[in-house]
Amino acid sequence: MKKHLLLMLLLAGAITSFAQQKITYGVRAGVTSSGMRGDAINNFNNLLDFTKGMVSTKNHTGYFGGGYVSIPVSSNLSVEPALYYSQKGFDMVGAISGKGISFLGANAKASLTTQYIDLPVLLKASLNGFQVFGGPQVSYLTAANLKTTAGLLGINLLNYKTDASSQFNKWDAALTGGVGYQFGNGVHVMAAYDHGLSKADANQNLRSYNHSFKIGLGMGF
């Protein structure tokens, strides 16, 4: 994974040296809706035991933010390396038992929040403000916290938070792509999808992969 990161940095540096037009910079932030593909539920076996009831899954809402560099290679084509802080994760709702305590029929939820540093290198095509982009992304996990809550009749019975970092692979690789629109004043909007390629499990025994939708607003300078 470190080799992949180095190759991406070298690629961005090489393109910079050949760029003939003005290089621009910008910031971007927005919301994420993330989940896991594959053996997502089994990935938590060491943390929680989901038993005696239906367990439903849904995406985890977070946010991302950071900066980017736009390197033109032609009038309609550019390369855009970026650096983001990004929240991802996974939510589960159902009858949960953990740490020897059962909450049958309780309103229980397990919420995993993972925090990554994302480094995408995108190839972007632009036409009359409309943009299409895609490329590889390397991410580094900085933290992973699992929060478990349960309540009954409006009473909070459980509010437990634990560090789950050791359960997950520190490095993640993905393909990312999406669309956007650039306004004349430098403001732009974008929507993208990250498709994880690396197993999220620390031991890489389970076929669980990150995936994330992003909607953002940015400003170029």
pLDDT tens digits, one per residue of 73-94:
988 999 999 999 999 998 877 6
What confidence score (pLDDT) does residue 217 get?
A: 98
> What phi, psi does 75 have (nearest 5°)?
-65, -30
Per the CB < 8 A criterion, the answer to whether 116 and 82 are in contact is no
Which range of 6-20, 30-44, 46-60 scores highest in mean pLDDT? It is 30-44
Could you give all domains of the chain from N- to C-terminal order, each with its CATH number?
A: 2-220 (2.40.160.20)
The pLDDT assigned to 100 comes to: 47
* Residue 71, token pair as written in the block: 């390197």
Round the average pLDDT of the chain to a whole number and report it: 82
Q: Are 138 and 84 in contact (CB under 8 A)?
A: no
Q: Which residues contact 127 (CB under 8 A, 6 or more apart)?
A: 76
Q: What is the DSSP string of 86-116?
A: EEEEEEEEEEEEETTEE-TTSEEEEEEEEEE
| pTM of the predicted structure, to 2 decimals | 0.80
Q: Which two tokens stand for residue 203?
A: 């031991």
